Structure 1
Amino acid sequence: MRLAPRQNAITVTLPATCPPAQALAFLHNNKSWLASRLKRVQNAFSFTVDSVIPIEGQPHRIVHSPNQRGGAWIENGQIIVCGETAFISRRVMDCLRHHAARVLGTELREMAKAADLKPTRLDIRDPTSRWGSCSTTGRIMLSWRLIMAPPEVRHYLIAHELSHLVHMDHSNQFWQQVKRLTPHRQRAEAWLRHHGPNLMRAGQQELPLA
């Protein structure tokens, strides 16, 4: 059972032989867990005027400047957004995507160079259920939403994907490789368990509790 924040849904995976009534009973028995997770995503970051969102671990306030031009940009602890109110959320998201491409690209290249690893390409995307991936061809994907995560979380996730260039599984050897690249695994995984659903839902509509 897991929460799918972007889809406004609870997903329950069960064996083909499991009757629906048993699945419903399972949901009922775990309603406290569901309530706590739903409460977390109610606090997801909103891309609206005066909202405060983290960028590279630092709070930034969204400021609307309708008469200026240039879409949206980051300046002195603010995200300045111009144009009509209806386009604020989209322009904030575009701004964060572009900033993520620059920052994550630099961080990936620096770590890869230090570890003598050679990814073939970096793609910045918006997956619904993962933070990154690495293909057998060395192509790494990272979620742009990581730009809203603290530096140690980004460091760990980049190390995780780079380690797949050496080990494509999650064997003990893989985790040893991760450990060589970053000391932040435990702290980052704990942060993602607690804050990850909000990050996945940042800028989306509210998830109803009923």
Structure 2
Amino acid sequence: MIGCMSLSGTVLRFVLPRAAPEPEQLTIVHAGDTLPVTFVRSGRARRASLRVDVAHRRVVLTAPLRMARGTAVGFAESQAGWIAARLKRLPDRRPFADGAEVPLFGEPHLIRHRADRRGTVWREPGEIHVAGQPEHLPRRLRDWLTAELRHRLVPLVHAKAGRVERPVKRISVRDSRSRWGSCGPDGALSFSWRLVFAPPEVLDYLVAHEVAHLVHLNHGPRFWALARSLCDGPMEPPQAWLKANGETLLQYGA
């Protein structure tokens, strides 16, 4: 507690908000296997829950601040079969390296390291060539892929925003791993750079989704009607693609 003296001489007391403790690494045994689980507490949580963090290849157990640790861990242990199955389903990591394959807007391309050239990246049919020292390949390729995404993304955003007559304050491309896109109340849009691996219709749908949020900051019927009208094609196929394949976008460049 902290006390504060008022002008009347009365001591006012208040309690600082209870801070969430640091994440705790747990291990749960299931069928002879040891399963890694990260235990976190949240002031917004109302019950214990489990989610898969694909980017870090782990399962996260979230519990309310006041829930007993044993209760939360017991819940996770009761779901050990689900945890084991989800960890087993995680896609293999695919680092950027010579000879590796990555999809460029859904089309497979082989990475070719070119030690005989300096400081550039270029595309040939079915291949992406990266010059320079091998240790620089991952960074140079990621920078090039991010630029390729922006080249398609920026005009697409402005075209759709023009259709709803709303300004776009800023377009950011980030390493967001929990969502593919976002729209702020100030008209700033953000997208994951990993969308460069997705088919064009998926990018079109996600841009339509976020631009629709410039008008409706919710997911009500009017929002979905507007998002559908902004898509260049049917909305359901890219939605289904993301549901079935979205996790695979996180495996590249790890």
TM bracket, shorter-chain basis: 0.7 to 0.9
Instruction: Report the counterpart of residue 16 of structure 1 in structure 2.
Output: 65
Query: Which structure's residues are more often helix, by fraction?
Result: 1
Contact 1:152 1:184 in 2 (8 A): no
In the alignment, which residue of structure 2 is the partner of 1:42? 91
TM-score (norm 2): 0.72
Q: Which residue of 2 aligns with 1:78?
A: 127
Q: Measure the CA separation in 1 of the matches of 2:236 and 2:225.
A: 14
List per-residue Cα deviations over 1:59-107 (Å, max 9, x = no partner). 1110111111233222222110111222222221111111111111122
Amino acid at match of 1:59: P
Residue matched to 1:176: 225
Amino acid at match of 1:30: Q
How far apart in 1 are the matches of 2:201 and 2:81? 31
Contact 1:40 / 1:198 at 8 angstroms: preserved in 2? no
Gaps of 5+ in 2: 1-49
The letter for the 2-side match of 1:133 is: S
Q: Secondary structure at the match of 1:162?
A: helix
Shift of 1:184: 4.2
Worse-matched range after superposition: 57-66 or 165-174? 165-174
Which structure is higher in RCO with an 8 Å CA cutoff and minimum separation 6? 1
Alignment of 1:20-99 (within 5 A): 20-99=69-148
- Compute the RMSD of aligned alpha carbons: 2.1
In 2, Cα distance between the equivalents of 1:114 and 1:128? 29
Deviations 1:100-150 (A, max 9, x none): 111111222232334444322211111131111111121111111101111
Task: Say which of 173, 176, 187 aligns to 1:124.
Answer: 173
State the SS of the aligned residue for 2:59. strand
Q: Which has the higher strand share?
A: 2
Look up the match of 1:196.
246
The answer (yes or no) to whether the contact 1:60–1:78 under 8 Å persists in 2 is yes
Give the aligned partner of residue 207 of structure 1.
Answer: none
- Structure 1 residue runs of 4 or more that deviate by more than 4 Å after TM superposition: none
Matched residue, 2:152: 103
> Percent same amino acid among aligned pairs?
34
Q: Name 1:138's counterpart in structure 2.
A: 187
- Matched pairs, number: 204
